[in-house]
Structure 1
Amino acid sequence: MRTKDELFRAAQREVAAYRQQAVIRAETARRAAYAAHPALAEADSAHMRAGLGLAKAAALGGNMDSARAALARADDALAAAAKEAGYDENAFKPAYRCPLCEDTGMRGGVPCTCVAEAARRLRREEINAASPLGLCKFDSFEVERYSDKVEPELGISPRAYMGKLLNFCRNYAAKFSQNSPNLLFMGHTGLGKTHLALAVADAVLDSGHDVLYTSAAALAAQLGREHFDYSGGDEWLAACQEADLLILDDLGTEYITPLTISVLYELINTRMLTHRPTIYTTNITDQNVFVARYTEKVASRMLGGCKMFKFFGVDQRLQ
């Protein structure tokens, strides 16, 4: 899991590689054409000599008008030779992926949009490797699979309730900002908690924000390894702390140690202080169990700082 800076640098390297590949392809095509058409190669050499002549005249105070005229004639001769050989004027120019920055990654002194797009794609691939992100969209969340019988605790049917929750999540993603609230999805296995959390992640990624996904078990295991690896820093923790949106999935499945509690407290507290929203999912539905597992200090920050939604119904995976 990479931090924003690491991801941005990886995107820049990718864009730079595109530019290098485009230049190499163009040069390979040019050399092949010149080998097949000697007249074209000679016209190119003459054009290069004319260009050097203009540079020399400018540097040494020569006849600039004469040098410019010679370069203009060489331009015309090269264009004529290329046309005669069956090539247009763009035949040997690099075909860049991004026409805005020509794969330099910069435009007007600021990073080009192609770098941001590459970073989002890399992050999406990273999330997909750890979750079914590609399958979890708002449009694929089927409220019809939930019961239409009234749930006493709700006063309405799970189907109606999940329809309202789906609309809430759509609006949450559409209006996402650092002022968005934290969310806690509670409920038994297979009720759609992870699906909705990842659907939010997918939409928030598309809007240009950085999103991280991790299961609680994977996070705890990785942070434990980093804690005892004194040669490096806590990259996962740093990445989780600074993400615009963090999805922390399946709380309650991780192995609890004093280190886990300490790191969770640091993570939750840092994200709350820096106004970076988090979406938690958990199979734990009893708040007393939550407090007993995570301590009152951690649980109070998590439960007190979230909009909580309890999921109802039967395991959708068995439907």
Structure 2
Amino acid sequence: MNLQTNHYKKIMRQYEEKQLKNQHKFNQKKEKVYRAIPEIKKIDEAISQTSIAIAKVLINENLDPQVEMARLKEKNLELSMKKIELLHTNGLPKDYLQKTYECHKCRDTGFIKDQKCSCFKQAIIDLAYEQSNIKNILEYENFNTFSFDYYSNEIDKENNLSPYDNIKSIYNYCTNFVSQFGKEFSNIIFYGNAGVGKTFLSNCIAKSILDKGFNVIYLSAFQIFEIFERSKFRKDDAAYYDDMSENILSCDLLIVDDLGTEFSTSFTNAQLFNCLNTRLINEKPTIISTNLKPSDWSNQYSNRIVSRIFGNYEPLKVFGEDIRIKKAFN
């Protein structure tokens, strides 16, 4: 996730390329129409002259601005309607001479007024994933490739349930989480020993939510705290880390992997509480996976963090044999 300024600039270049591409396509279509329907070129020239006339009205004290503006607007409307009629008569859609955009909200500029558009924020996330290879991982770690074969049917004495029945129940909960995403607000915490499938389940959910068109940030706890630290204390690449910090708090779904493996300090505790609390207030779903047992949480985190998690997250305990070891010997 350690993107540098040159990566950030890469996103800006992509927007510039989109705008140039859009303008080129528009110019090609306009030239084509002008050759086929010369009258439309005359109409466009007349509309341009109307724009000049409006400017003159505004500086001419002898004219009534309201009356003249209304007259010129009516003239423009008549010209535009005639243009649409000509396009239709010649078998072209009425919006044929309008520019097309990948993002209609910002018109492929990346900004709405002085605020970054959601497509810009997603571009930052996508570039981060490109660097971390997460999208390739999701291609083979998803609900379609999930296997129950690694979970035993024998009753686990500690949990009074077989790993197989338990994972079936968790799997169904996860698929329901995906189907209700965007309709119902909920959070998940996967906990259990290493190698039992917690990260795989998180990947399954991430892939499905991304496929539904939502933005997802998937980071290890260490990566999240590194971003918060760089945003707060370092001036180099500050813009990128500020954006990533904002995205962590506001993305549609945040997945925090391996919480509890980071070096715990007063800073990480404060940042974790702020992150979880902000997302709860704004009803932004979060998924956490951890190797920590519930009884260990209070040893590592403050009471208010423990309260936020176990009061607002669905705890899903994943247990069974270490799948990585089973795969290694199969």
Aligned counterparts of 1:312 and 1:49: Cα–Cα separation in 2: 74
Which structure 2 residue ranges, 5 or more long, are not aligned?
2-9, 54-91
Cα 1:155/1:54, change in 2 over 3 Å: closer
Runs of 4+ in 1 over 4 A off after TM superposition: 10-16, 22-28, 47-56, 96-101, 103-106, 115-122, 230-234
Gaps of 5+ in 1: 2-9, 32-39, 60-88
- The offset of 1:175, in angstroms, is 0.6
Give the TM-score, by structure 2 length: 0.64
State which drifts further: 206-215 or 289-298.
206-215
Query: What secondary structure does 1:146 align onto?
Result: coil
Which residue of 213, 221, 227 corresponds with 2:218?
Answer: 213
Matched, 1:306 2:313: yes
Question: What letter corresponds to residue 18 of structure 2 in structure 1?
Answer: Y
Aligned residue for 1:36?
A: none
Q: 1:243 aligns with which of 238, 244, 251?
A: 251
- What is the one-letter code of the residue matched to 2:165? A
In the alignment, is the contact (CA less than 8 A) between 1:186 and 1:308 conserved in 2? yes
Give the counterpart letter for 1:126 in structure 2.
A
Q: Does 1:222 align with 2:227?
A: yes
Distance 1:144 1:230, change over 3 A: same
Q: Distance in 1 between matches of 2:269 and 2:123?
A: 32
Q: Determine the structure 2 residue equivalent to 1:264.
A: 272
- Specify the alignment match of 2:21 in structure 1: 21
Cα distance 1:291–1:100, how it changes in 2: closer, same or farther (>3 A)?
Answer: closer
Q: Which amino acid aligns with 2:294?
A: Q
How far has the Cα of 1:176 moved from its partner? Answer: 0.8
Question: Once the two structures are aligned, what percentage of the paired residues are identical?
Answer: 25
| Mapped partners of 1:125, 1:100: distance in 2 | 17
Cα distance between partner residues in 1 of 2:249 and 2:150: 36
Displacement after TM superposition at 1:220 (Å): 1.6
Decide which moves more: 231-240 or 267-276: 231-240
Q: Which has the larger radius of gyration?
A: 1
Question: How many residue pairs are counted as aligned between the two chains?
Answer: 273
Residue type of the alignment partner of 1:310: K
Partner of 1:62: none
**Counterpart-to-counterpart distance in 1, 2:226 and 2:173:** 33
1:155 counterpart (136, 153, 160): 160
Deviation at 1:247, TM superposition (A): 0.5
- Residues 154 and 127 of structure 1: CA distance in aligned 2, closer, same or farther (over 3 Å): farther
Tell me the secondary structure at the aligned position of residue 144 of structure 1.
coil
TM-score by structure 1 length? 0.66
Structure 2 match to 1:288: 295
- Report deviation, 1:186: 0.4
CA RMSD of aligned residues (A): 4.7
**Greater displacement, 299-308 / 172-181:** 172-181
- What letter is aligned with 2:306? A
Q: Map of 1:75-224 to 2, 5 A cutoff?
A: 104-105=107-108, 123-127=125-129, 129-130=131-132, 131=134, 132-177=137-182, 179-224=184-229
1:42-81 alignment, distance < 5 Å:
none
Deviations along 1:122-178, one digit per CA (max 9) or x if unpaired, are 644533543333332111111112122222234332122212211211110111137
1:169-200 deviations in whole A, cap 9, x for unaligned? 11101111374221100011121111111221
Distance 2:47 2:308 in 1: 71
